[in-house]
């Protein structure tokens, strides 16, 4: 049986990847910098999960982790304002070890490199990023594709789900638990696509276990689209209280950015809340079958339950 390494294991997708891998009987090393989170999450992952506290920029630590496994999942993300040059350095460090130890990289990516598009967006759609962060993501993809390391690049819509802390929906859910009115980034009536992290992890692990899926990019879509008002309706029924969502627009984000570096970087990505990108996953489904798609009325409730603990 294969062994796996999940880098960034305490993030939303990282947590779900470890969970999915061990559920398939795969011994998995959960690698992250936070010892406190790794200790807590180990109780949920079970005995097949081995935790390793470390920094990918420590060559010896990363080398030891990579050489003992068969699959390397890269799900590390960092605050927007640190992306350049940190994301490039992190990826280069991982690619060096993957190449040295002859291991593939399975890379968790977003939709930024597509730029503004006519929907739905397939893997063959030309990348046309018009933002700084979209261009960074495209450069990272190119870095992987020209590295000679076997790879899978998986594009996901915005995450929600257990442990997915730094997401726009998590911000809304936390307010819903405390108040009757919650801020929602973007237009509240506009349908957007999100993916439940457990679904994304199931789909990505399925790709990683198939040799015919490597050296390709893959779109992994969510369970259709949903608006902020529809999310509020689901939460309202579950929490048994009237809930409203208030739109947080570009001007408000820009104003907050005057004092908060992270919010300043969010401004250029607000186009996704005005002209959403919707992924076409027909390539995946033609080869493997239907994607796992947790309905929003189930996923939203599960996310709220976890936050309420």
Residues 60 and 112 reside in one and the same domain: yes
Kindly state whether residues 250 and 220 are assigned to the same domain.
Answer: no
Is 105 part of any domain?
yes
Report whether 124 contacts 79 (CB < 8 A): no
Are 70 and 208 within one domain?
yes
Structure tokens at 298: 């189930």
Tens digits of residue pLDDT in 21-72: 999 999 999 999 999 999 999 999 999 999 999 999 999 999 999 999 999 9
308 part of a folded domain: no
pLDDT digits (tens, 9 = 90+) for 247-289: 998 888 877 666 677 778 889 999 999 899 999 999 999 999 9
**Pair 172, 287 in one domain:** no
Is 47 exposed, middle or buried, given 0-12, 13-18 or 19+ CB atoms closer than 10 A?
exposed
Residue 206 lies in a domain: yes
How many structural domains comprise the chain? Answer: 2
CB 133 within 8 A of CB 268: yes
Q: Are 123 and 217 in contact (CB under 8 A)?
A: yes
Counting every residue written for the chain, the total comes to: 309
Torsion of CA 256, 260, 265, 268, to 10 degrees: 10
Please check whether residue 305 lies inside any domain of the structure. no
Q: 96 and 209: one domain?
A: yes
Q: Are 74 and 143 in contact (CB under 8 A)?
A: no
pLDDT at 258: 61
Question: Looking at residues 217-226, what average pLDDT do you find?
Answer: 98
CB 184 within 8 A of CB 245: yes
Strands 216-219 and 158-160: unpaired
Same structural domain, 15 and 114: yes
If asked whether residues 140 and 266 sit together in one domain, one would say: no
- What's the pLDDT score for residue 254? 79
Shared-domain flag, residues 210 and 286: yes
In this structure, are residues 279 and 118 in contact, taking their beta carbons and an 8 Å threshold? no
For the segment 119-164, what is each residue's pLDDT rounded down to a tens digit?
Answer: 999 999 999 999 999 999 999 999 999 999 999 999 999 999 999 9
Whether the Cβ atoms of residue 269 and residue 112 lie closer than 8 Å to each other? yes
Residues 9 and 155 in one domain: yes
pTM: 0.97
Sequence-distant (6+) residues with CB within 8 A of 166 are: 11, 12, 77, 79
Phi, psi dihedral angles at 71 (to 5 degrees): -130, 135
- Residue 94 included in any domain: yes
**What's the CATH code of the domain at 208?**
3.40.50.720
Domain around 249: 168-190+226-273
Is 138 found in the same domain as 12? yes
286 shares a domain with 253: no
Average pLDDT over residues 71-95: 97
Residues 66 and 148 in one domain: yes
Residue 309 lies in a domain: no
Which residues contact residue 286 at a Cβ distance below 8 angstroms, ignoring those fewer than 6 apart? none
In a domain, 302, yes or no: no
Is residue 127 a contact partner of residue 74, using CB atoms and an 8 Å limit? no
| Residue 304 covered by a domain | no
SS3 37: helix
């Amino acid at each position: 049986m294969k062994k796996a390494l999940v880098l960034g294991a305490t993030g939303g997708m990282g947590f779900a990847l470890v969970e999915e891998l061990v559920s398939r009987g795969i011994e998995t090393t959960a690698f992250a910098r936070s010892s406190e989170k790794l200790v807590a999450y180990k109780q949920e992952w079970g005995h097949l999960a081995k935790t390793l506290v470390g920094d990918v920029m420590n060559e010896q630590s990363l080398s030891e982790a990579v050489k003992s496994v068969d699959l390397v999942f890269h799900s590390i993300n960092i605050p927007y304002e640190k992306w350049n040059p940190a994301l490039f350095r992190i990826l280069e460090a991982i690619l060096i070890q993957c190449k040295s130890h002859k291991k593939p990289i399975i890379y968790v990516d977003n939709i930024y490199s597509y730029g503004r598009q006519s929907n739905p967006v397939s893997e063959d759609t030309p990348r046309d990023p018009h933002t700084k962060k979209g261009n960074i993501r495209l450069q990272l993809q190119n870095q992987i594709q020209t590295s000679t390391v076997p790879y899978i690049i998986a594009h996901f819509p915005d995450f929600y789900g257990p442990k997915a802390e730094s997401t726009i929906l998590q911000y809304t859910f936390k307010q819903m638990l405390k108040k009757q009115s919650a801020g929602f980034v973007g237009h509240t009536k506009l349908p957007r696509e999100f993916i439940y992290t457990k679904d994304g992890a199931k789909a990505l692990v399925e790709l990683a276990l198939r040799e015919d899926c490597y050296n390709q990019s893959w779109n992994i879509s969510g369970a259709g689209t949903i608006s902020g008002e529809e999310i509020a309706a689901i939460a309202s029924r579950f929490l048994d209280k009237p809930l409203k969502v208030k739109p947080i627009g570009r001007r408000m984000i820009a104003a907050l950015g005057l004092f908060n570096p992270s919010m300043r970087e969010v401004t250029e990505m607000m186009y996704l809340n005005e002209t959403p990108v919707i992924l076409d996953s027909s390539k995946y489904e033609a080869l493997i079958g239907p994607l796992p798609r947790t309905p929003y009325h189930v996923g939203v409730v599960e996310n709220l339950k976890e936050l309420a603990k």
